[in-house]
Copies of this chain bind each other. A is one copy, B any other.
Amino acid sequence: MAEKKLILVCNDDGITAPGIRNLIEVCKGFGDVVVVAPDKPQSAMGHAITINATLRVQAMRSESALEYACSGTPVDCIKLAVNKILHRKPDLLVSGINHGSNASINVIYSGTMSAAMEGAMEGIPSIGFSLCNHSIDADFTLSRQVAHTIISKALNDPMPAGICLNVNIPDIAPEMLKGIKVCRQARANWEEEFDERRDPNGRPYYWLTGVFKNYDQGTDTDIWALENNYVSLVPCQFDITAHSSLAHYKSWEDNA
């Protein structure tokens, strides 16, 4: 009989968020589950790690998963899990289910996806799941179905080295879903608008807000897939070398 699968679960919304609770339930059907997740919301932390402060890890009781709340960032959680908590390399790392889209350029800011990327850097097959709905009350019915399908595939199909998967789920009723689309990251950006306010002493402070702008007309992008009722699946790599620009800079080598 094959050894039971070991699945590591993380997120960036914090260990109590509905998204991760739903993901844990899905994972329990596939093997042993260990959860190491932030003890508070850590959205938009990107690939931040904690090097100038200490980290705490608190074991929590739970029914059939081992759970640990960590004081650090999502990437800290993965490093702690791999190096201090788990006794062997997990068969799969899943991160999420994020409350909100991590499609397109959001992947760069996302703590959910940075946890998956860190897993890939550690040689663990890793997937980030995100639902395109920020609400704490979002309906995760479709997301659970999609996570079940994708985790099942991932456990039976070795992931290429150096990548992780960015899976985004449209906020629609399950019967509306058309399927999964393998996509590239859409060219898009946030147009920031800082909301300037005054504190009680009259001094200015700012809230970061912004509007998402998609400049990409391609039908092979994650944004297109989501707008057309598909789950988007983008393989992502941590080698960010712009290989196509190496030749452009070759002339700079001559007269340094």
Interface residues in chain A, defined as those with a beta carbon under 8 Å from any beta carbon in chain B: 41, 43-52, 54-57, 73, 75-76, 79-80, 82-84, 105, 107-109, 114, 117, 121-122, 146, 149-150, 153, 157, 160, 162-163, 165, 177, 179-182, 184-185, 187, 189, 192-194, 196-197, 203-208, 231, 233-246, 248-250, 252-253, 256
Q: What are 18 A-B pairs with beta-carbon distances under 8 A?
A: A41-B52, A43-B52, A45-B46, A47-B48, A55-B208, A56-B205, A76-B208, A82-B192, A83-B192, A105-B121, A121-B189, A153-B252, A179-B253, A181-B253, A185-B239, A233-B249, A235-B245, A237-B240
Decide: B240 and A240 in contact? CB cutoff 8 A: yes
Decide: A250 and B108 in contact? CB cutoff 8 A: no
Query: Given A48-B46, A206-B80: A108 and B238 within 8 A (CB)?
Result: yes
Decide: B240 and A108 in contact? CB cutoff 8 A: yes
- Say how far A76's CB is from chain B's closest CB, in angstroms: 7
Copy number in the complex reads 2
- Say how far A178's CB is from chain B's closest CB, in angstroms: 8
User: Which residue of B76, B80, B185, B197 contacts A240 across the interface (Cβ within 8 Å)?
Assistant: B185
Query: Given A80-B194, A83-B193, A182-B246: A43 and B47 within 8 A (CB)?
Result: no
Query: Given A160-B248, A162-B242, A241-B235: A51 and B47 within 8 A (CB)?
Result: no
- Say how far A6's CB is from chain B's closest CB, in angstroms: 19
Decide: A54 and B240 in contact? CB cutoff 8 A: no
Decide: A109 and B233 in contact? CB cutoff 8 A: no
Decide: B83 and A205 in contact? CB cutoff 8 A: no
- Say how far A210's CB is from chain B's closest CB, in angstroms: 8
User: Which residue of B83, B150, B187, B242 contacts A160 across the interface (Cβ within 8 Å)?
Assistant: B242
Decide: A163 and B47 in contact? CB cutoff 8 A: no
User: Which residue of B55, B160, B193, B233 contacts A252 across the interface (Cβ within 8 Å)?
Assistant: B233
Sort A-B residue pairs by CB-CB distance and give the 7 closest, nearest first.
Answer: A46-B47, A46-B46, A235-B245, A237-B242, A179-B256, A235-B242, A180-B256
Q: A82 to chain B: which residues have CB within 8 Å? A: 192
- Say how far A78's CB is from chain B's closest CB, in angstroms: 10
Q: Name, among A187, A233, A238, the residue most crowded by chain B CB atoms within 10 Å (CB to CB).
A: A238
Q: A194 to chain B: which residues have CB within 8 Å? A: 55, 79-80, 83-84
Q: A150 to chain B: which residues have CB within 8 Å? A: 252
